[in-house]
Chain A
Amino acid sequence: MTPEDIRAAFIEDLTSVAPDIDPDTLEDDAHMQDDLGLDSMDFLNLVSALHKRFGLPIPESDYPELATTAKAVRYLGRALAG
């Protein structure tokens, strides 16, 4: 999967959890909680969706790696390659 594919998949899961987020204006450095307003339930739903899609375990200790879209794409890319 290319980083572009991962980014598209991540944004699809993010906007399904938070339908009011507009993928066209989403900034890659926007913080999930502080800027996009995800609460702990939204974030858990996002992690669950990514887990289902990619089959990755995504332990809680890795949550900070998903803080922004840019970080998440790098994290998921590494995890999928590893």
Chain B
Amino acid sequence: MSIFTMPSLGADMESGKLAEWLVGPGDRLARGDIVAVVETQKGAIEIEIFESGEVVELIAAPGQTLPVGAPLARIRKPGEVEDETPEAAPEPEPAAPVTPPTPESAPSAPRPPSHGASGAPPGARAPGRVPSGALASPAAKARAAEVGLDLSDVPGSGPGGAVLLADVEAHAKASGKPAAKGKPGLDMAEMRRAIAAAMSRAKREIPHYYLSHRIDLQAAQDWLAATNAERSPDRRLLMGALLIRATVRALAKVPELNGRFEGGDYAPSDTINCGMAVAMRGGGLIAPAIMDAREKSLDDIMAAMRDLVARTRTGRLRNSEITQGTVTISSLGENGVDALFGVIYPPQVALVGFGSPRPAPVVHDGSVAARVCVTATLAADHRVSDGRRGATFLAEIDRLLQEPDTL
């Protein structure tokens, strides 16, 4: 028997709110299945399970805010017999010392009695603004507060007329309230606090060094325009996809920039999970990873970018995407400034920045010409690499972008 616990979704996370179970007792799970949705400062995150087995019992109830490491469910491993004693839950990871715990992050109960996923657990903390007297599940209350519904207006279908999550969704739909405007569960103040914690840690612990290199993008720009001219809009590429593809390929030449520095040791990574900083409309940013980016073609990278940007802004990310990054790229896009000097996202050891591509006077074939250029920068961890290797890396990105048809 094993205990499935509240996962850590980053060094900055102390607790998460279980929003929803997607499985129930008796369900058989394979490694990688999505079992629950947890709300964090990064919005609602889909939680994958990393072992196979069968759900025996759901311990935590939707709506509960629980610390990292708290038991969520009991899982029977394949081949196990009924009456085995459960293994002890792993020790909760120590919370990052940067931010004091808020009342919200205190465990609501050490081990609440088990109950069905849709029931209203007695004594569970009611998040958000709730009218007194309305009997409703925590998930329903949270959702109602989110969409601005008064719970007393919602007919309940649960025990004793309790309002369930499905009732709120149905009522919200019927009354024309937006089902999900923007990103569900996203709290901007919390996100700012999380960014502050991660970036403070980076600046405190990581000896950054910085390199900058201007790259002539005219060849890439011309190739992109010619390629897109033959494609319908849904199949067009963005320059950002070329920049990511070139960066991922250049990492093969300087692999020490791809990995994680944890517990005083650096571990290079065989796979490249390329984080991509995505700005949220309204402020803040999240850097989910394009998983196994090395194995992806240019078109695959573009498809992954589209999917990831959409899910970052309005949908759900998966926990692997926000915890397994091995390097991050931050790109200012079309309407920014010349260069971006990044702060490394711990425990990674490098952040690649791209300013806005724009025409600049450059020497090309012996004379000055106006050509589209971009400034590429590298912020890297001096515990792991040196400037000379960093320079090799940026020069390799430059070289690859001069031959866009081979990307």
Contacts and interface: CB of A to CB of B under 8 A. Distances in A.
Real complex partners, A and B? yes
A37 B281 contact: yes
A58 B234 CA distance: 11
A48 B234 contact: yes
B334 interface: yes
Given A19-B182, A40-B333, A41-B306, A60 B314 contact: no
A57 interface: yes
Interface in B136-180: 178
Contact count band on B = 20 to 34
Given A34-B335, A48-B234, A39 B279 contact: yes
A45 B333 CA distance: 15
Interface string A10-49: 0000000011100000000000011001011100110110
B309 interface: yes
A24 to B, nearest CB: 14
Nearest to B308: A41
Contacts of B238: 40-41, 44
B240 A40 contact: yes
Interface stretch (B6-14, B18-26, B225-233): B225-233
A44 B233 contact: yes
A52 interface: yes
Contacts of B314: 19
Contact of A41 (B182, B234, B309): B309
A34 to B, nearest CB: 7
Contacts of B229: 59-60
B240 A60 contact: no
Nearest to B309: A41
Contacts of B77: none
A60 B235 CA distance: 12
A34 B310 CA distance: 21
A18 to B, nearest CB: 6
A69 B266 CA distance: 51
Contacts of A34: 335
A19 B181 contact: yes
Nearest to B236: A44
A65 to B, nearest CB: 14
Nearest to A56: B233
Contacts of B240: 40-41
Contacts of B306: 41, 45
B282 interface: yes
Contacts of B335: 33-34, 39
Contacts of A58: 233
Given A40-B238, A60-B225, A18 B281 contact: yes
Contacts of A20: 181-182, 281-282
Contacts of B225: 60
B220 interface: no
Given A19-B181, A19-B314, A20-B181, A39 B233 contact: no
Contacts of A18: 281
Given A20-B181, A45-B306, A51-B233, 13 more contacts: A19-B181, A19-B182, A20-B182, A20-B282, A33-B334, A40-B239, A40-B240, A40-B334, A41-B238, A41-B306, A41-B309, A45-B310, A47-B233
17 contacts: A18-B281, A19-B314, A20-B181, A20-B281, A20-B282, A33-B334, A33-B335, A37-B281, A39-B334, A40-B238, A40-B334, A41-B306, A51-B233, A51-B234, A52-B234, A57-B232, A58-B233
Q: Which 3 A-B pairs have the closest CB atoms?
A: A48-B233, A51-B233, A47-B233
